[in-house]
Amino acid sequence: MKKKLIAGNWKMNGSTATNAALVQQLLAGVGQAACDIAVCVPAPYLAGVEALVKGSAIAVGAQDVSAYDAGAYTGEVSASMLRDLGVRYAIVGHSERRQYHGETDAVVANKAQKALAAGITPIVCVGETLQEREAGLTEEVVKRQLAAVIHTNGHCISEIVVAYEPVWAIGTGKTASPEQAQQVHAVLRAQLHAATEHSDRVQILYGGSMNAANAAQLLGQADIDGGLVGGASLKAPDFLSIIAAAV
């Protein structure tokens, strides 16, 4: 039976001092966690946080990765660079990247491929906007987004993590009900099952305003294998509470 994964997405937050304080609280409180744990931190702090958590149960993740290997791509960070820093995970296709940086399904699929080639596990984000949900397009949208990644990565698809993050529930305080989330997770599970005989290895996370109050109910759903946690991951007691719920 695969473990659940609780991954914190710090987004563009933090400083050397606040990061150290947060990590120290997490290390002091995490104990013998039953789940996998990761913190996805801003690029300038990857090396520092990796040094703080080295040898612990907490892995480090990046919030993005370049679609290019190397070269004249100013400001980009390649998968090999991330690997050099000890990064284990990389978020790809977060809705904020799709919305603000125009990342297409094809770009996201290529980024996942670069991560996998470097031995980094991509956390592939999929999710619909409120307009798409109200139009009854939820399944069509998430299946299209995941299909691009499956098409590009083929036999490696069992090595990814998927995160369902309804765009309308990110940072809004709104959360999909456990039943709504489970329904979409089941669709994604079936799509992965059709793509690989090892689909049972793939962790499918919920990523829409998971917090200490709703984590246990969400994580109790049959096809929810963890959480991609935003704001709550910046508060040690809340993040530790979510980790404790992931059994």
93 assigned binding-site residue: no
Q: Which listed residue (94, 103, 159, 185) is catalytic?
A: 94
Tell me the two tokens of residue 144.
Answer: 């299209």
214 assigned binding-site residue: no
230 assigned binding-site residue: yes
9 assigned binding-site residue: yes
Instruction: Specify the 3-state DSSP secondary structure of 71.
Output: coil
Instruction: Specify the 3-state DSSP secondary structure of 226.
Output: strand
Tell me the two tokens of residue 92.
Answer: 């790809």
What does the alpha-carbon distance between residue 51 and residue 57 come to, in Å, rounded to a whole number? Answer: 13
Question: Would residue 159 show up in a list of annotated catalytic residues for this protein?
Answer: no
209 assigned binding-site residue: yes
What does the alpha-carbon distance between residue 198 and residue 71 come to, in Å, rounded to a whole number? Answer: 35
2 assigned binding-site residue: no
Q: Which listed residue (50, 103, 128, 165) is catalytic?
A: 165
- DSSP conformational letter for 3: P
Question: Would residue 165 show up in a list of annotated catalytic residues for this protein?
Answer: yes
Q: What sign has the CA pseudo-torsion 150, 152, 154, 159?
A: negative
3 assigned binding-site residue: no
How wide is the angle at C-alpha 219 spanned by C-alphas 214 and 220, nearest 5°? 105
- Specify binding-site residues for substrate: 9-11, 171, 209, 230-231
User: Which residues are tagged catalytic?
Assistant: 94, 165
